[in-house]
Chain A
Amino acid sequence: MILSTCGLTKAYAGVAANTDIDFDLPVGQTRAIIGPNGAGKSTFVGMVCGRIPATRGNVSFDGTDITTMAAHERIRKGMAYTFQITSVFQGLSVRENINLAARRRLGKNKLAVTRKTDEILQRLNIANRSDQLASNLSYGHQRILEIGMGLAQDPRLFILDEPTQGLAESEVDDFNQLMKSMDAETTILLIEHNMNVVMAVAEYITVLDQGMVLANGTPEEIRANTAVQEAYLGTGHG
């Protein structure tokens, strides 16, 4: 398992955002987490990458208990994270944004950083915008840039929180292609509302509802699960 959580719980004053979540993610899998708004999806991945401190429970990454590690240490172990609300360096150029992501891992090797950045710019089709300030990009391109910053880190576990939110249909198709083109050993943990994306890319699905795991299964199993239909698919999302 690349990632396991055991009894992971988050309580905000009065709100049980996550309750006793046990979760296992094998190496190389593309896993989707779905669930209605407020189900606790963002809270869960926030505790996995260390951005949100857990109330209790454990997280282990690649066999190491990382429960007490700071967020930046977890990222350094091979995670990458994209925010649900776009978070790029607005005042810096597109190239510099990707550079910063690549440089943290590749360090002082300028050539390797430049090569990595060029590769990502090509792969995401934003090379022609590399000198623009991130703040001048369209919303969709900013989201793509943020995904690019994740890719530039060559993560072993890539966590994406609703990456296709607000993207145009063609951009969503590109995103699906991108996910399918990822190396086999890269594990993907994808929070997604768009069921077309989920059905297109996910190998396995976890459904959260009211801070708890409601179901786990293959896309076919989840589609057929009546409890899921009631809690989630039936309530208007998707």
Chain B
Amino acid sequence: MTNTAKSNTLHFGLLFFLAIAFLVLPEYHSGNLARIMILAIYAMGYNVLFGYTGLLSLGHALFFSAGMYGLGLTMHLNGWTPAPAFVVALLTSTIVAAIVGFLVLRTTGVAFMIVTLMFAQAGYLTILYFGTYTRGDEGFALQQATRQLIGFDLTNPSVRYYTALILFSVVLLLLAYLVRSPFGRTLVAIRENEERAKMLGYNVTAIKLQAVILSGVISGASGAAYALLFGYAGATFATVQYSILPLLWVLVGGAGTTTGAFFGVLFMTYLIDYASGQTNAYLIVVGLVLVAVTLFLPHGIVGTLRNKYAGWLP
């Protein structure tokens, strides 16, 4: 099998497995899995910038919440239906990412991390400031009656699961295509050696901006899907915690791998789920496991598999 064939087998195999999973898993777990797939979209968006381009952002909650509120507010306040509201979400996160990217790409390294963090904090405060509309930390629910798409009830567990799967598939296959495309290879080149990429004639600043926008819009799509499928938008999703989470997911799953984002979210979700069932001090357990993972799997789950056994892993 060529590497392309192996990569296709992996991606379609994972999607097939997820399609079956709903039929065999108890409702509790299939509900978890729907949420995991949506958050994995967020992690994949983050991975475009962190894993492939080598830019560590601490402000992605801004893009996630731009999508979440882009959809949530247009549905909640303007009474729009999900499809056009989703388009608004994509536009909102694109514009936010373009503006933020344009400004933050003037910095590098630690300054980049701090400036992205500050922009996200400004976004969070903006949501609180417009509390009349956003209801601040408390947030607002999207009415069940409005969460209907071409005759399907998105609050129904099976519709919700398969909608999440379709969105997840689109983004996973897009990412798989991207990393093999000339554009994706250029992102990796910038990650590996920015100065060399520039001296080969690549417009590094413009390419990085495109990466921020792509990463931002995928993160925004995840935020919008989250609000739509789980019926809630709140300022918690704009806090620092939601900027750190995708970093952890991607580190655990494998930065710069297509499937690492999914396995990172899956692992962390069930780790927290299991640990919190055992003890109130579950965050300590989670912390220790994360330390162990970074010690023994420094390239994350999929990254370590790639380094040790399967160099073809995309």
Contacts and interface: CB of A to CB of B under 8 A. Distances in A.
A103 interface: yes
A196 interface: no
Pairs A-B, 9 closest by C-beta atoms: A75-B201, A89-B192, A76-B201, A87-B196, A104-B201, A91-B192, A72-B201, A72-B203, A81-B199
Contacts of A108: 182
A43 B259 CA distance: 45
B193 A89 contact: yes
Contact of A72 (B189, B193, B198): B198
A35 B188 CA distance: 37
Given A99-B185, A100-B189, A89 B196 contact: yes
Interface in B41-63: none
B127 to A, nearest CB: 38
B188 A87 contact: no
Interface string A136-172: 0000000000000100010000000000000000000
B196 A92 contact: no
B189 A89 contact: yes
A92 B191 CA distance: 11
A223 interface: no
Nearest to A90: B192
Given A72-B201, A104-B200, A153-B201, A90 B193 contact: yes
Contacts of B203: 70, 72
A140 B193 CA distance: 19
Contact of B199 (A51, A91, A105): A51
A92 B201 contact: no
A81 B202 CA distance: 13
25 contacts: A49-B199, A71-B198, A71-B199, A72-B198, A72-B199, A72-B202, A75-B200, A75-B201, A83-B199, A87-B195, A87-B196, A88-B193, A89-B189, A89-B193, A90-B192, A91-B192, A92-B188, A100-B186, A100-B189, A103-B185, A104-B200, A104-B202, A105-B201, A108-B182, A153-B200
Interface string A88-131: 11111000100111011101100000000000000000000000
A91 B196 CA distance: 13
A90 B273 CA distance: 40
Given A72-B204, A89-B193, A91-B192, 8 more contacts: A72-B202, A75-B199, A83-B196, A87-B199, A96-B185, A103-B182, A104-B201, A153-B201
B307 to A, nearest CB: 11
Contacts of A103: 182, 185
Contact of B200 (A70, A90, A92, A101): A101
Interface in B255-288: none
| Chain B binding surface, main DSSP class | helix
A89 B192 CA distance: 6
Contacts of A149: 200
Contacts of B198: 71-72
Nearest to A103: B182
Contacts of B189: 89, 92, 100
Interface-centre pick from A72, A91, A108, A153 (highest chain B CB count, 10 A): A72
B23 to A, nearest CB: 41
A104 B190 CA distance: 13
Contacts of B199: 49, 51, 71-72, 75, 81, 83, 87
A96 B189 CA distance: 9
A171 B286 CA distance: 54
Nearest to A134: B192
Interface in A35-75: 49, 51, 70-72, 75
